Amino acid sequence: MDSSKDLIKATNLLLEIASFLMVSGANTNRVNLNIKRFSDSLGYNASFFISQKSMIMTLYRENSSESCTRVKNIPGLTLNFSAISAVSKTSWKALEKNWKYDQISSKIEEIKQLKRYPQIIVTIAVSLAGAGFCNIFKGDYLNMLVSFVSTFIGLLVLQYTHRKNYNVYLRIFIGSLVASSIASIGIKLDIGAKPATALATSVLYLVPGVPLINSFTDFLDNNIINGLVRFTTGSMMVLAIALGLFISMLIFNLN
């Protein structure tokens, strides 16, 4: 009876870790490798299927008839690369030191509680990055200021719509429309030497780098289904960005 309970607890723990990695932005192969190390540490074999929205895991011992299968839904992305790195390091340590359930569980909870940067700091940093891209495209300081302001306000709107649980593509469309509209005002007022550079860089904060990069790595690792889903998701996000930018240019009658 105890062995059955241990098996169920271990399955739930590994599912939780796999879901946490997916939500944090890990690619499929990285999730597979981390779960294999944790399951080896616990003395189990793990067979599982990961899709973009859910995962199925079966845990069993090599010479036992007992097994446990569980299904878990995966929430939406909340990117956290520090968490991915911390979980990966923990999986190696667990394998090397033969950690058991309690040690792994407490460490994962500790990682989940790691403090993230305050939202305002992230917003300012992303806006500065947008202004930096504007400078790379030969925009002057006034163009950089317009890019900073449009990115800052667009990101605030994106965060607000996220808190209100808007559809992800609608959030990106609104964020793109708001940011590009502010940059379009800069073009109309002829602010700076190259106001078009501010418009071009105002929506770069929305580019779905993680889904597109993960789709490429999934294809390379032969995870074709997840690769296709992530590529399609990334493409839809790019379409939402382009639509917001297009409507903004249409409203302000820009060529």
Residue type, 63: N
Q: List Cβ neighbours of 105 (8 Å cut-off, separation of 6 or more).
A: 13
Q: What torsion, rounded to 10 degrees, do the Cα atoms 3, 9, 14, 16 define?
A: 170
- What global pTM score does this model have? 0.88
pLDDT string in tens for the chain (255-residue length): 467 888 999 999 999 999 999 999 999 999 999 999 999 999 899 888 888 788 999 998 887 778 899 999 988 778 899 999 999 999 999 999 999 999 999 999 999 988 888 999 999 999 999 999 999 999 999 999 999 999 999 999 999 999 999 999 999 999 999 999 999 999 999 999 999 999 999 999 999 999 999 999 999 999 898 899 999 999 999 999 999 999 999 999 987
> Which residue ranges make up each domain of the chain?
2-112, 119-251
pLDDT in tens, 12-71: 999 999 999 999 999 999 999 999 999 999 989 988 888 878 899 999 888 777 889 999
Cβ–Cβ under 8 Å, residues 208 and 25: no
Query: Which residues on adjacent β-strands are paired with residue 230?
Result: none
